[in-house]
Structure 1
């Protein structure tokens, strides 16, 4: 049986006693008043956790449909004896200050166990955050790689991964911004057997409003951070980022100092793995809905279309203030509109007010790219929803020639290569963009770049072609980034193949379009 926290047990006990006395279950509001909490979202979070762990069931969406699924048995009270540093070591503190209630089949007794409150962020990549509680099994030895309570340097305590080397111990954090440290002697006081996620009491006392850093966002299907840049430029704060592609991490982490990219299948990310956040952002996989992806949609053989349901899973569990989702224009017409209708209905069923619009990058982002994408914006607050307006079209003033590199390596030129003769007779003007379509050259009459795609440079979908003073060449990865609206100081890592970089920016969003939408969202919430 999964463990529960002391607060979750209080919720469960109140529901049980209320049903015994009244014959019906309490409403969310009655639970909130009983526990003296001001944030309804916190009650929802506790109830959703109890549902996930099998203690509660909810038969429908009515106000009094909560019922216990089973009784809580074998509750163990573990003493919280102090604090532990997940950062720089602190003086060991051993004063019993509270207890935590656990239901865990692997912990038979409170004997031999204790709990500590975590201070610091050195273990965040291990899923241990500032304010969490770790349950420790008392023991004086540990295996390599276990997370331990270690006493070092005259009674200073720290929480780290422990590794025994030839003549020393390595205490290793799980935070890419922090370095390990080494000691010849380490006293092990126990190993971590459980992590209890913290729900801040300060956040329970007030609604989820803007912090000094702005509304908090999680960046799902993050790629190389295009949506993140757009939202941070509008005043939002990123607290978590995830993508499945390992090569994206090198590009992503090179450009962001905090909230580095977590590379993991989103289907394996648990609700408790996510920090508190206000808005969910996600350009969920578009290949199954695009023309290039053969429009397989929810029936995509690689299950990419079904990843939308993980967005639903997270929104349903956490009930954020809102979300922004992005996908290809063809999502609206897929399966005669039924796919998009299903998506809208599911989001509305979760309690959100939804607006959608197709935006073209050359009309809403001031970048010379013909790229149509559907944007789905949702708010839990109806007032925000009613105030929100998608941005108005803006005049395109940026030209392709404004975004080109000055010193381009020879490898990008077709001069002297087999394809050159076929291109030479058809590509004559500088400042225009062309495409090689297997057997012929197509000129983009509008003077803008065609839609950049994930499969640029492979098969028949070659990178767009231009002519400059040195000859005929393909666009470089950096130029593709600029055409996607990435800022001038955005960096590309060395050592990654061009094909991977083309894929990253073909998969990305147009940053300037996202930024304009994000600013409208912020405006709606602050007006």
Structure 2
């Protein structure tokens, strides 16, 4: 059921804050990042009941905010509140990843992109001046780059020039999590004279060289350098019963390759305790565990199947212990350590955080790009505005 459209700024919300809507909102980490940068998130949508439960459990209900649970394809432009300045969409990445067999924008889940753009089209002249899309970096190469070009072309049709950049959560938290961002602007800034190679590396240049696409590259500050350590500082103190028993740990150790075992032995001989994350892989048809060599977490994933869950390895002082990563550690690695976790099912929490956007990445992008762009504080482009094609 679609909630009626809001027609005025609700009581209790600051009219001075630009209003934003988030599609595929998940558990609300984008909202946390946008609000830290000064946006007022007033409308959200997601199809997953378990994610809405987490969202409402953390933010509460009402107070001028509307959450529409359901398929984005059922959302109409008339359902959205007036005065939106930003629309954010973290549409599903399943069909854009190797695990999703690269079905691309035609896949059953990633095709929800079209549901989002249909809503934008229905908004007509009330479209927000800025849109932001987030997905895995595989989006850039899906179907030889054609999926990305198709997405840009669709946003062009709706009157937006598009910038494309990549940003890794590792620049803010000790988790390797590279992501791709598209920023659409109805009034784009002029191109940066020397494009920032850290945000737009060589493998991301194809869209900017395509004369059939309208793109721009905004001048942005250099993001913080990637972290080289820090996971150990986020490890939660757990009870003895959370660590694996002798049988399970033995199976873990037996699965390690000689290189992995040598790595663990060096850590075990250390005078201080060290912490590493580990993933379960399938090598030559056999399940094996692989331990990261650094004090950085691997990319968190949705907890659907054992191979997607990370383990924590504690080694040093001539001992080794292994356990699953906790929901609090997931939250901390996503920059949301104060997120409300009480009464959540473990896999519900892991699924919610593993399928989310890192909070400080959103806030950095919002502070240095989305907010200045929306306020017209960036240099205006001299490029002609594209005509909007309806139908």
TM-score, length basis structure 2: 0.74
**Correspondence for 2:246:** 416
1:485 and 2:332 equivalent? no
- Does the Cα contact within 8 Å between 2:175 and 2:297 map onto a contact in 1? yes
Which aligned pairs between 1:352-391 and structure 2 lie closer than 5 A?
Answer: 352-363=160-171, 366-383=172-189, 388-391=218-221
Give the Cα–Cα distance (whole angstroms) in 1 for the partners of residues 306 and 22 of structure 2: 31
- Does the Cα contact within 8 Å between 1:434 and 1:464 map onto a contact in 2? yes
**Correspondence for 1:463:** 310
- Does the Cα contact within 8 Å between 1:234 and 1:519 map onto a contact in 2? yes
Give the Cα–Cα distance (whole angstroms) in 2 for the partners of residues 500 and 280 of structure 1: 26
Which aligned pairs between 1:79-158 and structure 2 lie closer than 5 A?
Answer: 127-128=3-4
Give the Cα–Cα distance (whole angstroms) in 2 for the partners of residues 281 and 459 of structure 1: 31
TM-aligned CA distance change 1:272 to 1:260, over 3 Å: closer
TM-aligned CA distance change 1:309 to 1:397, over 3 Å: same
1:509 and 2:357 equivalent? yes
Q: Which of 106, 113, 121 is 1:316 aligned to?
A: 121
Give the Cα–Cα distance (whole angstroms) in 2 for the partners of residues 129 and 307 of structure 1: 22
Cα RMSD between the aligned structures? 2.7
Give the Cα–Cα distance (whole angstroms) in 2 for the partners of residues 342 and 291 of structure 1: 19
- Does the Cα contact within 8 Å between 1:242 and 1:266 map onto a contact in 2? yes
TM-aligned CA distance change 1:435 to 1:214, over 3 Å: same
Q: How far apart are residue 499 of structure 1 and its match?
A: 2.0
Q: How far apart are residue 227 of structure 1 and its match?
A: 0.9
Aligned residue pair count: 319
Structure 2, unmatched stretches of 5+, are 192-215, 268-273, 378-391
- Does the Cα contact within 8 Å between 2:169 and 2:358 map onto a contact in 1? yes
**Correspondence for 1:339:** 147
> Any idea what SS the aligned residue of 1:433 has?
strand
Give the Cα–Cα distance (whole angstroms) in 2 for the partners of residues 127 and 299 of structure 1: 29
Q: How far apart are residue 389 of structure 1 and its match?
A: 3.6
1:519 and 2:363 equivalent? no
Give the Cα–Cα distance (whole angstroms) in 2 for the partners of residues 382 and 353 of structure 1: 6
Using CA pairs under 8 Å that are at least 6 residues apart, name the structure with larger relative contact order, 1 or 2: 2
Give the Cα–Cα distance (whole angstroms) in 2 for the partners of residues 499 and 340 of structure 1: 32
TM-aligned CA distance change 1:317 to 1:226, over 3 Å: same
- Does the Cα contact within 8 Å between 1:361 and 1:372 map onto a contact in 2? yes
**Correspondence for 1:261:** 67
TM-aligned CA distance change 1:478 to 1:457, over 3 Å: farther
Q: Which of 151, 154, 159 is 1:351 aligned to?
A: 159
Structure 1, unmatched stretches of 5+, are 1-124, 131-197, 203-209
Give the Cα–Cα distance (whole angstroms) in 2 for the partners of residues 409 and 264 of structure 1: 41
Q: Deviations over 1:148-173 (max 9, x none)?
A: xxxxxxxxxxxxxxxxxxxxxxxxxx
Give the Cα–Cα distance (whole angstroms) in 2 for the partners of residues 515 and 506 of structure 1: 18
Give the Cα–Cα distance (whole angstroms) in 2 for the partners of residues 128 and 462 of structure 1: 39
Give the Cα–Cα distance (whole angstroms) in 2 for the partners of residues 265 and 337 of structure 1: 27
Give the Cα–Cα distance (whole angstroms) in 1 for the partners of residues 325 and 115 of structure 2: 35
Give the Cα–Cα distance (whole angstroms) in 1 for the partners of residues 178 and 237 of structure 2: 29
Give the Cα–Cα distance (whole angstroms) in 2 for the partners of residues 471 and 510 of structure 1: 28
Q: More helix by proportion, 1 or 2?
A: 2
TM-aligned CA distance change 1:462 to 1:272, over 3 Å: same
- Does the Cα contact within 8 Å between 1:329 and 1:373 map onto a contact in 2? yes
Give the Cα–Cα distance (whole angstroms) in 1 for the partners of residues 119 and 2 of structure 2: 20
TM-score, length basis structure 1: 0.56
Q: Which of 196, 220, 224 is 1:394 aligned to?
A: 224
Give the Cα–Cα distance (whole angstroms) in 2 for the partners of residues 466 and 352 of structure 1: 47
TM-aligned CA distance change 1:348 to 1:274, over 3 Å: same
> Any idea what SS the aligned residue of 2:308 has?
coil
Which aligned pairs between 1:122-271 and structure 2 lie closer than 5 A?
Answer: 127-128=3-4, 198=7, 212-257=15-60, 258=63, 259=65, 261-271=67-77
Q: Deviations over 1:250-277 (max 9, x none)?
A: 1111221442532111111122111122
TM-aligned CA distance change 1:457 to 1:423, over 3 Å: farther
**Correspondence for 2:296:** 448
Q: Which of 136, 141, 151 is 1:328 aligned to?
A: 136
TM-aligned CA distance change 1:225 to 1:390, over 3 Å: farther
TM-aligned CA distance change 1:351 to 1:409, over 3 Å: farther
